[in-house]
Structure 1
Amino acid sequence: MSTPLHHQKKPDQKYLAAVFERLDYFFQLPLAAKAQLAESCYEIRVKKNEYLLRKGDYSYFVYFIIEGILTGEATSGKQVITSFICVQGEFVSAIEGIYGVVPATEDIKAAEDALLLGIHVDDLEKLSTNFPEMHIVMRKVMELYYKIAHHRSVFFRIGTASDKYADFLNNYPHHATRIPLELIASYLNIKITTLKKIVGAYHKKREEAQLSKESIIAYLEEHHPYRQKKLSLAQLAQMFKVSSHTLSHLLNLYFQQNFSHFINTYRVNYILAQLQSKHHKQYSLDGLGSEAGFSSRSSFFYEFKKQKGTTPHSYLQQFTNPEL
């Protein structure tokens, strides 16, 4: 493999610390092993869509991903398949020919700008020879990746398309939105059109789960967005960080009301609260309707009578003269 030497340099200590933390997860390494590893590592940057390794090249390095996402590409004729996805905190190298004995059978490509720490396989073997702890670490790393590969080979045969995507989100919770859908579809072996439908349904379900009835009520009671004249469904949805369609669905589900009825109910209730607290004396009825968010006198009177069965004037008269 032709490692991009012009991108190489000795690694920053903070990047080495990330590698040591990950390796210690498998087995605690002695300080001497870490010192030897630090001397053997190189910092390498790979730009988005640049190849780290090409099919047919010889691989002599194992990489730890500090930042970014790399994918494996297997080709068969004109078909290109995403064979694996590796993200920050993981190791990556050729699946076959890892020690440079035979050519690599697939490409490794950066899905976004990536920062790697690379170590030559000869240096890695020296570490394993000098330090039994490093041998244990490498054995456990290989065991982990074997388990991942086995899970994928079995699960992807029996799971539905939705099951596959749910499993993908579970494995890549912080990177899923950064990986192009085309790569995910290829990796999961499902059609891109199917994946787009699944992703859309997932986001809708997630939005609904995040926005409860109680959170809607609490927001309106604290921020009074209904007092904004000509408030639209899209504007309120933006406040809740959901789509207009999702908010409309939830208002019907939680309150059995459409958007206009829901907002106008809050406006009328605001007016009733002002009348009962006697704060209305500083406003005319028209002014109170405007304060509540109604954009016109006619819309205020119409909605008030629709909900309370009487006009604002009649209600105020009954409220101030209960004997009538």
Structure 2
Amino acid sequence: MPHPIPKKGSKADLDYLLQLMNMIFPISDVLKQEITEHLVSFEVKKDEVLVEQNSYCHYMYFILKGALMGRTTYNGKKIVTYMSIENEFVSSISGLHGTNVSKEEISAIEDCSIIAIHNDVLQRLFLTQFDINYLFRVMVEKYYMDAQERTHIVRVGSAKERFLYFAQTKPEHMERLPLEYVASLLDMKPLTLINIKKQHELNIVKDKETAEFCIAIERCMAECELFKDKDISLQSLSKYLNFSTHKLSSLLNNQFQQKFIDFVNTYRINHIKAQIAMPGNLQYYTIATLANNAGFSSRSAFYKVFKKMVGMSPVEYARSLAFNS
């Protein structure tokens, strides 16, 4: 298959590249002129090879649209070594500057629009232009940070942990690029990746549902004040929420880390504490009345729960507020 043929870069592409370069470091008029004269563009079709393995890479590429990947063949197996998308520079690191052959091919995952500068031009500019040296240093630093991340991806833990790390750091790659290439990059079989991805998406749905269930539980307590019902039970609350008793109990234990009665009593005690703290409230209501209004049916049970949760008796708590006011 013939390689993509370079064409003269358009003014719009040139202006875009110069704008991005200026954001990194202000470039001189001389460098702008050199780039204007030597910038070329490539249109690369999906699956087309831009640079073959064991051949020379003659350009530093910049992706305007599409996605490229590096891929090496080892023992008859093709292994993806990186994937890059829009606004990223791409070249061969093993064959950088075209001085050595590339140990990996560069090919298109999608139809791509690419602009590039020949390595011979870059080598000449390195000798005369400080700004291109600085810009190249920034690009190389970013590349090695990405390379370190890719190395970390394939080394960390299990297949599931590698997937989670990649999904968090490269979410756009996971949703956009073919799973077979992502699987190769993560050193796992495509079917393994598909199964892990499905389970992860299912867990996200479950987590969202769990969060919504927890909000409903808290709302019926904080807004509807169901804790004031002396006869409230796991069964009555689950019926109110339209949950099964098992689901409600599981949510309380796993999400709130409380048993049902402790969960209800926490709302009751916090409500009573707020009532005690209101100026003048104890002139009109006894603490026992506040407890009764909050859902406690037994004075002794209230005092026991209050001391356990607050660390002092209701009377001592009221005195501490008066002392500190």
So what's the TM-score if we normalise by structure 2? 0.60
Match of 1:39 in 2: 37
Q: Which amino acid is the alignment partner of residue 146 of structure 1? A: Y
Shift of 1:38: 2.3
CA distance in 1, matches of 2:192, 2:159: 8
Match of 1:94 in 2: 92
Q: Which amino acid is the alignment partner of residue 75 of structure 1? A: T
CA distance in 2, matches of 1:207, 1:104: 44
1:169–1:20 distance in 2 versus 1, CA, 3 Å: farther
Shift of 1:207: 4.2
1:194 to 192, 195, 217: 192
- How do residues 7-156 of structure 1 correspond to structure 2 at under 5 angstroms? 8-156=6-154
- How do residues 303-318 of structure 1 correspond to structure 2 at under 5 angstroms? none
Cα deviation code 1:87-132 (max 9, x no counterpart)? 1111111221222222222211111101100110111123333320
CA distance in 2, matches of 1:54, 1:117: 18
**Local SS of the residue matching 2:47:** coil
Match of 2:287 in 1: none
1:37–1:4 distance in 2 versus 1, CA, 3 Å: same
CA distance in 2, matches of 1:209, 1:119: 48
**Local SS of the residue matching 1:127:** helix
Q: Which amino acid is the alignment partner of residue 243 of structure 2? A: Q
CA distance in 2, matches of 1:129, 1:255: 74
Match of 1:260 in 2: none
- How do residues 133-282 of structure 1 correspond to structure 2 at under 5 angstroms? 133-207=131-205, 213=212, 255-256=242-243
1:110–1:131 distance in 2 versus 1, CA, 3 Å: same
Shift of 1:181: 0.7
**Local SS of the residue matching 2:68:** strand
- Alignment RMSD (CA, Å): 2.7
Match of 2:4 in 1: 4
Shift of 1:180: 0.9
CA distance in 2, matches of 1:173, 1:20: 28
Contact map agreement 1:169 1:176 (CA 8 A) in 2: yes
Contact map agreement 1:99 1:121 (CA 8 A) in 2: yes
Cα deviation code 1:64-97 (max 9, x no counterpart)? 0111111111111211111111111111112212
**Local SS of the residue matching 1:44:** strand
Match of 2:274 in 1: none
Q: Which amino acid is the alignment partner of residue 9 of structure 2? A: P
Cα deviation code 1:267-303 (max 9, x no counterpart)? xxxxxxxxxxxxxxxxxxxxxxxxxxxxxxxxxxxxx
Match of 2:297 in 1: none
1:196–1:30 distance in 2 versus 1, CA, 3 Å: same
Shift of 1:40: 1.1
Shift of 1:186: 0.5
1:23–1:206 distance in 2 versus 1, CA, 3 Å: farther
**Local SS of the residue matching 1:130:** coil
Contact map agreement 1:82 1:186 (CA 8 A) in 2: yes
Contact map agreement 1:18 1:66 (CA 8 A) in 2: no
CA distance in 2, matches of 1:17, 1:90: 16
Task: In structure 1, list runs of 5 or more residues that go unmatched.
Answer: 218-253, 258-324
Q: Which amino acid is the alignment partner of residue 4 of structure 2? A: P
Contact map agreement 1:54 1:108 (CA 8 A) in 2: yes
Task: In structure 2, list runs of 5 or more residues that go unmatched.
Answer: 217-240, 245-325
Cα deviation code 1:215-237 (max 9, x no counterpart)? xx9xxxxxxxxxxxxxxxxxxxx
Percent identity reads 28
**Local SS of the residue matching 1:174:** helix
CA distance in 1, matches of 2:77, 2:88: 27
Cα deviation code 1:157-187 (max 9, x no counterpart)? 2333233223323343333222111110110
CA distance in 2, matches of 1:174, 1:13: 29
Contact map agreement 1:37 1:127 (CA 8 A) in 2: no
CA distance in 2, matches of 1:3, 1:134: 28
If you compute each CA radius of gyration, which structure gives the higher value, 1 or 2? 2
Task: Give the aligned length.
Answer: 218
Contact map agreement 1:26 1:141 (CA 8 A) in 2: no
